[in-house]
Amino acid sequence: MVTMIKYTDKIIALLELHPGKLFTVSAISKRFEIPITEKREVRLLLRKLANDKNVSIQRDGKRFFFPSPNQKKKTSAKKAPEKVDLAQEMESIIQELQLPTDFPKEVLEYAESISDKIDSKTIKSRKDLRTVTTVTIDGEKARDFDDAISIEQRPKGQIRLRVSIADVSHYIPAGSVIDREAYARGTSIYFPDRVLPMLPERLSNHICSLVPNEDRCTFTAEIDFDKKGIPVRTDFYKSIIRSDARLTYKQVAQALVDKDKITRDELAHVLPDFELMETLFHRLRQQRMKRGSLDFDLPEPLFLMDIEETRIENIIKAQRTQAHMMIEEFMIAANEAVARFVTENDAPMIYRIHEEPTREKIKDLQRLLHNLGISLKIGKKKIDPKSIAEVIEKVSDLPEKRLINTLILRSLAKAIYDTENMGHFGLASTCYSHFTSPIRRYPDLMVHRILNQVLSKKPKKKSSDEEPFDLRRLSRAAEHSSLRERAAMEAEWAVRDLMQCSFMEDHVGETHAGIISGVTKFGLFIELSTHFVEGLVPVRSLADDFYRFFEDSHSLVGRRTKKRYRMGDPVHVTVTKVNIEKRWIDMELAPPPSDTA
């Protein structure tokens, strides 16, 4: 007998009764085997659970392995705790959040039926860019390459940028079985050791991926910029390219910024193009900063694994080089150009919007920054992103810059997808979309289809399953895509927290310098200076006084001593406990190391 228990529609445990009167509870990453003297005890347990209106029980259904929050583990004082199995724990998070993993058989069959050869008819129908020097620039571990760049010096100091994007829509008709699966997934989800792709690997890593020295179908945004970096001409067309090189951000940074001779010699055949890209990058960035775009400096954690990828050796801040920023700038330019073009042609569109923050949130941010000695000006009628951008620039060289960047980000609205153009506050853009990543984001695939219809001059309003031009359908798709993006982010955060906990298991008892990154009524969040890790000092551990939380200043203040803990304060902490199941790190405040030690 296999019994699945759900609590408020979320599976929390799987119960199995085996021959020999053995009752197994399968929970996240663990299996607990409990002897049952009589089968009636199982029936009594299930009857008791069934009396709870929030619980539903399914027998002999599909097998799932989810955590039982109330399940007690067997412990032994003599037995040392088992080292966490990272792969198993990540699999458990995938199951816990009900993320899609394996593709259905019919989707895989459809993917296999797609030819990896480009026929002559398709080639003739496209603009041939195979003789134009084109490169991809991505991270060292990237496997799906959906954007390629080419650049050209034009008369009167103008520069022509071509952003060629994998033409996924050429291979996936709207409404097909593979399109429905991609829609359901919404996005690819990236973990340190794996990817849950939106598309089957045959497409994402092979047919659509812009690998070097292979002909690939692409959708190109061609933009001419003047000497100031202002777009003066745009063109969009289906194309065919052959990437000349698969390069990494590190290589490009070494060539352009570090002026590394060995790297420059290796890239001599594309170095002039890179130098022209660098010129355009500075022009575009200057224009974007001028209008008040927010340039956050919030590096992601980089998990350094051992050679077998079973143990985390260190957690450091991922480097954001000029090469990263250059490609980001080119992608922003292409996304804006597509959004403007479709909007000017009065076609329904899926925009990437970022609404203006509420005045209440900005007032709260203003108070927090004031407590840190930083001034934020707020207009009487409209919140100008330029004032926030000025703060980001002002703190760019301060030790607290990451904290302040985080505070600002928390005060802003979340970017979402919508059919109504409300602009993008963070980019200070009046019209923005996502066009550049159709391999991993479904909204980009929809934008490709919309752009293709506009270029084909087909009817602007269309109610069919072939193309997503019905506004109501687009609106539902935008909402669904936003939800799937949020689910992916939550999964990535959960895995990040898990890996931080796994790493810190070996550092319990150690004392580290840190900074208070958050203050709540239940404690202080501390970001360590030595490792890119955050933990909690529970308020109950502050034994020298009774501390009260003041929300307006985001601080804890001792009732008797008046000692105050605020965001941004430097501290020393000792790691006291790591809870893998809750993905939580407990710390205690510690005295700073003696100067004479």
**E strand intervals along 80-203:** 127-128, 135-138, 147-153, 159-166, 189-191, 194-196
Overall residue count recorded for the chain in this entry: 597
Residue 398 is predicted with a pLDDT of 82
Under DSSP, the state recorded for 553 is T
In angstroms, the CA 91 to CA 65 distance is: 10
User: Under the phi-then-psi rule, with left for phi > 0, alpha for psi from -120 to 50, and beta for the rest, what region is 527?
Assistant: beta
**DSSP string for 275-326:** HHHHHHHHHHHHHHHHTT------PPEEEEE-TTSSSEEEEEEPP--HHHHH
Dihedral (CA of 208, 211, 215, 218) sign: positive
Specify the pLDDT at position 90. Answer: 86
**3 state SS of 378:** coil
CB neighbour class for 265 (10 Å; exposed up to 12, middle 13-18, buried from 19):
exposed
Q: At how many degrees (to 10) do helices 401-411 and 359-371 cross?
A: 160
Q: Which amino acid is at 553?
A: S
Q: Are 329 and 288 in contact (CB under 8 A)?
A: yes
Cβ pair 338, 329 in contact under 8 A? no
Q: Report the C-alpha gap between 376 and 371 in whole angstroms.
A: 11
CA distance 478 to 201: 25
The three state secondary structure string of 442-470 is: HHHHHHHHHHHHHHHCCCCCCCCCCCCCC
**Residues 111, 485, 109: CA angle, nearest 5 degrees:** 10
Q: pLDDT of the chain along its 597 residues, tens only?
A: 445 554 444 444 555 555 544 445 544 344 444 444 444 455 555 555 555 555 555 544 433 333 333 433 444 344 445 566 788 888 888 988 889 999 999 999 999 999 999 999 999 999 999 999 999 999 988 888 999 999 999 999 999 999 999 999 999 999 999 999 999 999 999 988 789 999 999 999 999 999 999 999 999 999 999 999 999 999 999 999 999 999 999 999 999 999 999 999 999 999 999 999 999 999 999 999 999 999 987 878 888 877 566 678 888 888 889 999 999 999 999 999 999 999 999 999 999 999 999 999 999 899 888 888 899 988 777 889 999 999 999 998 887 788 889 889 999 999 999 999 999 999 999 999 999 999 999 999 999 999 999 999 854 444 444 444 688 999 999 999 999 999 999 999 999 999 999 999 999 999 999 999 889 999 999 999 888 899 999 999 999 999 999 987 789 999 999 999 998 899 999 999 999 888 999 999 999 876 544
Q: What is the CA radius of gyration of the chain?
A: 27
Rounded to 10 deg, the angle between the 105-113 and 177-185 helix axes is 120
Helix axes 322-344, 249-256, angle to 10 degrees: 110
> Are 186 and 198 contacting, i.e. CB atoms less than 8 angstroms apart?
yes
Helix (H/G/I), strand (E/B), else coil: 4:
strand
Distance of CA 575 to the CA centre of its chain: 28
The pLDDT value given to residue 78: 40
Q: What does pTM read for this prediction? A: 0.83
